[in-house]
Structure 1
């Protein structure tokens, strides 16, 4: 997607090169931000701030090959900032957000729905590993945790996803009987 040449050109002030870099990742940025934030408006805010911060600080990027990792690290921090601010200013809209396990028995879910039900620290790791194709090492560097922690979160997420999907299959069987 991004090439070191495009990154280098962007670092030298080429706005079009920067735009090409962002366009290469805009869909991935939205999909990722959607796993952390509940509204399109919040996702748009996080992405906008990420782009602005990236543009202002692209000259600080030392390893051109790590542009995607660097960009997503900024996005993670922006999504976290928005979530923290929202948590300070408003209560959760529904009991479903507080207790997703209550809703699992009542509806069939697909993999994306199951991923959305994971707690944020586990959901981030799943999103980066499976949907952004990052390695365990890249994820560990990106979110400042040890590789072993990434592996344990992946294991925990797989276990929970298996339980969620199994529960939804059982519900479907009961409904068809």
Structure 2
């Protein structure tokens, strides 16, 4: 019961901060960004990978959110709205970049039990997915977001989320099986 009460209080604080931020209160806006920055960082890292790009994406998304916060219709959807802005910025960077990730820039923090070749294969396979598939994989597997939240963030149905996730897994399996057979 105490845990639910704590979550409710935090949710109310965030909603209050959103209301204040919509009225131009920079401190309230900064508190919201600060409370979400780790998740935003992980999402950006999962999509754009390069530290410099992650910083650019974070700054651009934060600036856009600040400039457009008055357009937010429902305060309780601030986090979903902010993640959507971040993903759009990630996609903008990817469209501009369209380059191959080099081994030196790869940092493996997930699944430490895999050997370096398996990690590299997985990393390359993930990068070979289209933006729409890679984004769903990052949000579901790296951020542990439920289908409902992913659907809200991406403005698609839960069925589409499940479909993209299924197709992404099939594509990853195909790529990884090819990598194993090709060696």
Instruction: Provide the TM-score with structure 1 as the length reference.
Output: 0.72
Residue in 2 aligned with 1:39?
Answer: 50
8 Å contact 1:110–1:165 — kept in the other structure? no
1:107 is the counterpart of 2:117: yes
Partner-residue secondary structure (3-state), 2:119 = coil
1:1-177 map, 5 Å? 3-87=14-98, 92-93=99-100, 107-109=117-119, 113=123, 115-116=126-127, 118-160=129-171
Q: Which runs of 5+ in 1 are unaligned?
A: 97-105, 172-177
Worse-superposed segment, 118-127 or 107-116: 107-116
Instruction: Provide the TM-score with structure 2 as the length reference.
Output: 0.70
What do you get for the CA RMSD once the two structures are aligned?
3.2
CA-to-partner distance for each residue in 1:116-153, whole Å, 9 max, x for gaps?
Answer: 55443212112222333433233223223333221111
Task: Output the CA distance in 2 between the equivalents of 1:5 and 1:49.
Answer: 24
Change in Cα spacing, 1:93 to 1:117, as seen in structure 2 (3 Å) is: closer
Worse-superposed segment, 44-53 or 5-14: 5-14
Aligned residues: 158
8 Å contact 1:33–1:79 — kept in the other structure? yes
8 Å contact 2:122–2:176 — kept in the other structure? no
